[in-house]
Amino acid sequence: MSDRSAGSQHDGAWNEASAQDPARRPRSLLTIVAAILTIALLPIGAIAVLQTQRAIEVANANYRADRLDIAMRIATPEREAIVAALGLASGVAGALAMLAPDSAACTRLMERTSETHPEISFIGLIAEDRSSVCNSTNETVQFQRTAAVESLFESPQSQVSYDADGQITQSPVVIVSHPVRSAEGELLGIVALSFPARTLDEARAQMDVESDAHLMTFQPDGDILTASTGDIPVEDALPDTVALGDLVIENSQSFSALNRDGEARHFAVVPIAPGTAYALASWPARGPLPGQTLLILSSLSFPLAMWLVSLAVALVSMQFLVIRPIAALRRTMRSFADRRQIPFAPELRETAAELRDIDRTFHRMAEKITRDEADVENKLHEREILLREVHHRVKNNLQLMSSIMNMQMRRSGSPEVRAAIRNLQDRLSSLAMVHRTLYQASDVARVRADSLIEDVVRELVSLASSASKPAVQIHFDLEAVTLDPDQAGPLALLTAEAVTNALKYVEPDETGVRWLRVSLGHDRKDKSALTLVIENSTSANAVATDDQGLGTRLIRAFASQLEARVEQEAAEGRYRVRVTFAAAS
């Protein structure tokens, strides 16, 4: 990787990190100077005002934190009941989706669930026709198309709703539902369970709660689930300027506002089940609402004017004496980083001595980098030439050996000797073809193993094809993998030997097709390892290959160079060779 690309990657990583974390964004020098001057020029009187303001803010923050804690505490019955119900509905829905029981088993599941959770009034699986055969009542229930029931199917997801007149209990209930989906994502129904809303008020009556505190729970869309507002109507207890749906956030929050009855109150919003249900608590506001302390700052007009004048003088000086020369130096460095050019910068001629020293140092460094890069490129070029020459000579030597063996084969009168020489000659030809592919690669320093293996296999199959036999169908499943020559060479040679053996023993399968499958990819268990699989079709009564043959010994020899593990498997209708090795970092 060149210095230029490395620098671009560094800039991209910095920009991405800055976008994700605003605190890491680089700040302008003018901004820093303005901040320093602001701290230095603030009058003593302003410090007292800021301390007063800070004390008020700390008190408000402590009060808001206290209100949030109380809101979380008084919403405990709702939170515990809804969270437990959501978990139970999700578990039952998951069990139904996984087990797919029949109606009787499903009903038994619902009955056992109802027995182990007596606080539940009803639990069952509601079909899209709004009927429930599988439920805790062991009876077929046809639900009316009320708003509460229809909301379950409008957006099938885990949700909480409220029904003032439950169809099973004929009393107010809280309904918790979760969709049941098949493995393909098809909606099979809705698991719905309900529990009486009065149990929440009964549980809160046993808690130490302020008498003037109001509490209501609501859905993300603003629909109210439960409410405990005393003698005040629920609608009048809501904040006057904010809708419930706008209060839905991930974290807790508190604020002060008037309710719709005109009373100033402190409100606190806490999540019961994030994304599903939230609680809104409120108390009467005792004292002025936060935000009325801005009048304290009206006494700072004269110090503020002094600060603005001093800041303007300092920033103008910084702009002409520092910012402009630094910007010119940055343009020079950027030009060298992008195009290896150093443009003329007139702003640096009359700048401060310290900045001129930086400019001269940068020029010397740029010259040295340019010379070093040229030396590195020359050495890389020489290394690539040497690698290509090595592969080329090995290929020529192998071809020469193959030609000599061909001459010897013609002179031999023994068919057995000719067959043995032909076998060796085929192996030499495949090895020569591998080295030819290597030296013809566009980049010999980093080799695309998938392309190399595909080229080797296709050429071997082409050489081995015969008009007297059916063509061999090739199937590839190769990931884009890049290796260095120390691993690419042995891997290609191993592939050539394994494919040669496969083509030697390939036979039509039960459908009459001769096929060869080659796959390369990362190991499923160890992502740092690569797995090469070569598989060919065999006949049902094929004779097992010789584990001590020359081909097998060559495969193991090449595998030892890769420090790989070789597995050979012969099954009915196929023969497989699996090689697993660690890819060099």
For residue range 472-488, what is the model confidence (pLDDT) as tens digits?
A: 899 999 999 988 878 88
Q: What are phi and psi of 519, to 5 degrees?
A: -135, 145
**What is the reported pLDDT for 289?**
45
Residues 349 and 461 in one domain: no
With H, G, I as helix, E, B as strand and everything else as coil, classify residue 517: strand
| CATH code for position 252 | 3.30.450.20
In the sheet with 529-537, reading across from the earlier edge strand, the strands are 472-478, 514-522, 529-537, 574-582, 565-571
Of the candidates 284, 317, 337, which is a domain's last residue? Answer: 284
Confidence of residue 532 (pLDDT cuts 50, 70, 90): very high
Which one of 426, 445, 464 terminates a domain?
Answer: 445
Separation between Cα atoms, residue 180 and residue 127, nearest integer Å: 10
Residue 41 placed within a domain: no
What's the Cα-to-Cα distance from 237 to each of 64, 162, 287, rounded to whole Å?
Answer: 19, 19, 19
Residue 260 and residue 233 share a domain: yes
**Domain's final residue, options 318, 337, 371:** 371
Is the same domain home to 572 and 495? yes
- Separation CA 80–CA 273 (nearest Å): 10
Q: CA nearest 158: which of 76, 91, 253?
A: 91
Q: Are residues 138 and 166 in the same domain?
A: yes
Question: Is pLDDT larger for residue 486 or for residue 27?
Answer: 486
Q: Are residues 87 and 142 in the same domain?
A: yes
- What is the domain range of residue 265? 62-74+208-284
- Asked whether residue 44 is domain-assigned, the answer is no
Looking at the structure, tell me whether residues 228 and 85 fall in a common domain: no
Q: Return the minimum-mean-pLDDT range out of 37-41, 133-137, 574-578.
A: 37-41
Question: Domain count of the chain?
Answer: 5
User: How far apart, in Å, do the first and last CA atoms of the chain sit?
Assistant: 14
| DSSP state for residue 251 in the 8-state scheme | S
Specify the pLDDT at position 1: 45
The DSSP letter of residue 259 is B
- State pLDDT tens for residues 89-105: 888 888 888 877 777 88
Buried b (16+ CB within 10 A) or exposed e, 359-374: beeeeeebeeeeeeee
pLDDT tens-digit profile of 280-312? 888 888 655 444 444 444 555 666 777 788 888
Asked if residue 477 belongs to a domain, the reply is: yes
Distance CA 464, CA 557 (A): 24
Does residue 116 belong to any structural domain of this protein?
A: yes
Residue 222 DSSP label:
S
- Indicate whether 239 belongs to any domain: yes
Answer yes or no: is pLDDT of 566 > 90.
yes
Separation of alpha carbons 53 and 292, rounded Å: 10
> Cα separation of 82 and 525, whole Å?
40
Beta bridge partners of 132: 141
Same domain flag for 540 and 391: no
Q: Evaluate if residue 418 carries a pLDDT over 70.
A: yes
- Within a domain: residue 177? yes
- 249: closest CA among 266, 270, 265? 270
460 and 557 belong to one structural domain: yes
Q: What is the pLDDT of residue 40?
A: 74
Instruction: Give residue 535's pLDDT band: very low, low, confident or very high (50, 70, 90).
Output: very high
Q: Do 361 and 461 belong to one domain?
A: no
The CATH number of whichever domain residue 468 belongs to comes to 3.30.565.10
252-260: long-range contacts (C-beta < 8 A, 24 or more apart)? 252/68, 252/71, 252/72, 254/64, 254/67, 254/68, 254/71, 256/285, 256/289, 256/290, 260/235, 260/236
Cβ atoms < 10 Å from Cβ of 203: 14
User: How far is it, in rounded angstroms, from Cα 451 to Cα 440?
Assistant: 12
Q: What pTM was computed for the model?
A: 0.39
| Composition of the chain by helix, strand, coil, percent to 5 | 55, 20, 25
DSSP-assigned states of every residue in 18-82: HHH-GGGSPPPHHHHHHHHHHHHH--HHHHHHHHHHHHHHHHHHHHHHHHHHHHHHHTHHHHHHH
Predicted pLDDT at 16: 56
Alpha-carbon distance 160 to 178, whole Å?
A: 9
Q: Are residues 382 and 397 in the same domain?
A: yes
Strands 187-196 and 122-126: antiparallel
pLDDT for the residue numbered 141: 82
Query: What's the Cα-to-Cα distance from 404 to each of 298, 398, 401, rounded to whole Å?
Result: 104, 10, 5
**Same domain (yes/no): 366, 376:** no
220-260, pLDDT tens digit by residue?
888 888 888 878 888 888 898 888 888 887 778 888 888 88
Separation between Cα atoms, residue 332 and residue 186, nearest integer Å: 61
Residue 564 lies in a domain: yes
Domain check: are 151 and 227 in the same one? no
pLDDT score of 521: 92
Facing residues of 476 across strands? 518
- Is 97 among the domain residues? yes
